[in-house]
Chain A
Amino acid sequence: MALIAFGLIAAVVILSAMFVIVARNPVHSVLWLILAFFSSAGLLVLIGAEFLAMLLVVVYVGAVAVLFLFVVMMLDVDFVELKQGTLRYWPFALLVGIIFLGELALVWAASGQLTFDSYDPSPGAATNAEAIGGVMYTQYLLLFQLAGVILLVAMIGAIVLTLRHRPHVKRQDVGHQTARRRGDAYELKDPTPGQGI
């Protein structure tokens, strides 16, 4: 049963990953990418790492891919034109592919057999959320915090790059708006005819 499920989901992952590259429409590419992410979450569930699977869906599918889709939809880039010249890079692509394949073969040869039987999704803890937390906040605490700092720097960088203080822009100040009372907005006059205010 698990084997059938694995075969099905793995096939979906590989096919959708292929379609990411093959699809002519960039938006379709992103949609296939989302399918690939989602199916890989299914693979993680199959090996018992349900916490990681859910995180993958929340972070990559729910947030990162949404932004991808956002950007790709907004961009007015003619991807067909971009793809015109890609064919001349095939020797380079072939080289990269061969290197990857060689590395995979090397790993496989070095570690003997890679089997699913020797795998424990939650080592030394009740659930794999606890297992991950236990490792992340003790053994790798410094690296974890470093990752946080890097993200913070990236965030601040993005804000600094995009924040522009333009003069003469009328801004909404909600506190100011709600503090307005009837008397501030208008005043009643009773002008007599022929005199004005």
Chain B
Amino acid sequence: MSNAIESLGSLWGPLLVLGQIGLFTLVLLLSIAFLLLLDRKIWAGVMMRKGPNVVGPFGLLQSFADFGKFLLKEIVIPAGANKFVFLFAPILTCTLAFTAWAAIPVAPGTETGTTWVISNLNVGVLYLFAISSLGVYGIIMGGWASNSKYPFLGALRSAAQMVSYEVSIGFVIVTVVLMVGSMNLADIVNNQAGGMQNWHAFSFQNFPLIIVMLPMFVIFFISALAETNRPPFDLPEAESELVAGYQVEYGSTPYLLFMLGEYLNIVLMCAMMTILFLGGWHGPIALGPEATANLPPLLLSLAGLFWFMFKILFFFFLFAMVKAIVPRYRYDQLMRLGWKIFLPTSLAAVLVVAGYVTYFGVQS
């Protein structure tokens, strides 16, 4: 192995990154296939239906059947549509959704101080924020290029909605960054080591802050719903008003890319919540250095990976349940919630946390 690395020389670095990207893409695509099924199964379960149950045992292969169908269908481009932008929009959505995963640390590395991540950025949080704020372009471009009224209205709604909720998401992220004193995602996760009482959502080590951080966690969750256009905030694609919003004119592979990007963004938001508030790869009960000293490091890494994926799955379950349970918001209610409730609350929280951090000197 080490000989092979040496013989590759300077090519080893880029090859390793390429391999990591390939692995991430593969795992993400496979997970999305089953998460889509899970989403539909949960939705069906709440409505006391069976959900997809024909393709494969328990309908497990449903997503793959859908995939095949989407790929084999003809791509229809509406007359008068802007062809390049029309086809570029779904590609952009999907690419950006994948790009954001480059900075997500999924597990602790086998050597101390390292993490399993493609790129350990110093400004990881900002990177995620930046990439997720670009997601709105896919929707606007798709809506505009369709050259049709419903998609355009859907795109405008979605743009206003995503820009509004980005603001409160930004402020919530600032509170976490203030507590950690670093924008590195691995640092943020490591700041929450030592059991679930140290997770930022509860933050018992800075006890009074739980009054601020728990609501911030909830605000982030709701804003994430709005940011990913999920019910109850799925107004851009409210079928009773806009048919299907920006994706009315899309079918076959472009639609598949839109849907893939949408679900990738949902999982990304789940991962962000996990990292920022629920301790990332740390388990709910810390084993302590004595207990873990004799365990092989690879096992610890895999355990970290398990907890990370488990928490993402938990959040995805919440997303699916919210979709099944909560009725859709009215547009003015959505805007009111974003600008009149979340924005002042999170802004006040930033002030409180900043004051606390400065006064008590929590930052490491």
Residues of A at under 8 Å CB distance from B? 25, 27-28, 31, 34, 50-51, 54-55, 57-58, 61-63, 66, 69-70, 73-74, 127, 129, 172, 174
**Bound CA span A169–B152, Å:** 27
| Contact, CB under 8 Å: A50 / B123 | yes
Stretch at the interface among B61-69, B109-117, B127-135, B311-319: B127-135
B110 to chain A, nearest CB (A): 26
Closest residue to A67 on the B side, CB-wise? B163
User: Of B122, B134, B166, which one neighbours A127 at CB under 8 angstroms?
Assistant: B122
Q: State whether A54 and B123 are in contact (beta carbons under 8 Å apart), knowing that A66-B140, A66-B163, A73-B144 are contacts in the complex.
A: yes
**Bound CA span A103–B355, Å:** 47
Closest residue to A65 on the B side, CB-wise? B137
Q: State whether A54 and B126 are in contact (beta carbons under 8 Å apart), knowing that A62-B134, A70-B156, A174-B336 are contacts in the complex.
A: yes
User: Of A25, A27, A58, which one neighbours B126 at CB under 8 angstroms?
Assistant: A58
| Contact, CB under 8 Å: B140 / A69 | yes
Interface range, B side: 20 to 34
Closest residue to B133 on the A side, CB-wise? A62
Residues in chain B near residue A73, CB distance under 8 A: 140, 144, 152, 156
B357 to chain A, nearest CB (A): 14
Closest residue to B122 on the A side, CB-wise? A127
| Contact, CB under 8 Å: A174 / B333 | yes
| Contact, CB under 8 Å: B133 / A54 | no
Residues in chain B near residue A25, CB distance under 8 A: 82
Offer 7 A-B interface pairs, CB within 8 angstroms, sorted by A: A50-B121, A50-B123, A55-B126, A58-B126, A63-B133, A66-B137, A129-B183
| Contact, CB under 8 Å: B123 / A70 | no
Residues in chain B near residue A172, CB distance under 8 A: 332
B196 contacts chain A at the CB level, 8 A cutoff:
no
A23 to chain B, nearest CB (A): 12
**Bound CA span A127–B134, Å:** 25
B74 to chain A, nearest CB (A): 27
Residues in chain A near residue B276, CB distance under 8 A: none
B347 contacts chain A at the CB level, 8 A cutoff:
no
**Bound CA span A58–B128, Å:** 10
User: Of B130, B136, B141, B163, which one neighbours A31 at CB under 8 angstroms?
Assistant: B141
Residues in chain A near residue B136, CB distance under 8 A: 62, 66
A22 to chain B, nearest CB (A): 15
Closest residue to B140 on the A side, CB-wise? A69
Q: State whether A63 and B163 are in contact (beta carbons under 8 Å apart), knowing that A31-B85, A54-B123, A54-B126 are contacts in the complex.
A: yes
- Interface flags for B127-167 (1: CB within 8 Å of A; 0: not) read 10111011011001100100000001000100100010010
Q: State whether A129 and B134 are in contact (beta carbons under 8 Å apart), knowing that A27-B144, A174-B333 are contacts in the complex.
A: no
**Bound CA span A73–B142, Å:** 12
**Bound CA span A60–B100, Å:** 18
User: Which 3 residue pairs spanning A and B have beta carbons closest together?
Assistant: A62-B133, A54-B126, A57-B130
| Contact, CB under 8 Å: A61 / B134 | yes
B264 to chain A, nearest CB (A): 18
Most buried by A among B122, B141, B166: B122
| Contact, CB under 8 Å: A54 / B130 | yes
Q: State whether A58 and B130 are in contact (beta carbons under 8 Å apart), knowing that A63-B163, A66-B163 are contacts in the complex.
A: yes
Residues in chain A near residue B137, CB distance under 8 A: 34, 66, 69
Residues in chain A near residue B159, CB distance under 8 A: 66, 69-70
Closest residue to B166 on the A side, CB-wise? A62
| Contact, CB under 8 Å: B336 / A58 | no
| Contact, CB under 8 Å: A58 / B141 | no
A132 to chain B, nearest CB (A): 11
Closest residue to B128 on the A side, CB-wise? A54
User: Of A31, A58, A129, which one neighbours B129 at CB under 8 angstroms?
Assistant: A58
Closest residue to B167 on the A side, CB-wise? A63
| Contact, CB under 8 Å: A62 / B130 | yes
**A57-B130, A58-B130 given. 19 additional CB < 8 A pairs?**
A27-B85, A50-B121, A51-B123, A51-B126, A54-B123, A54-B130, A55-B126, A57-B131, A58-B133, A61-B134, A66-B136, A66-B163, A69-B140, A69-B159, A70-B156, A73-B140, A73-B156, A74-B156, A129-B183
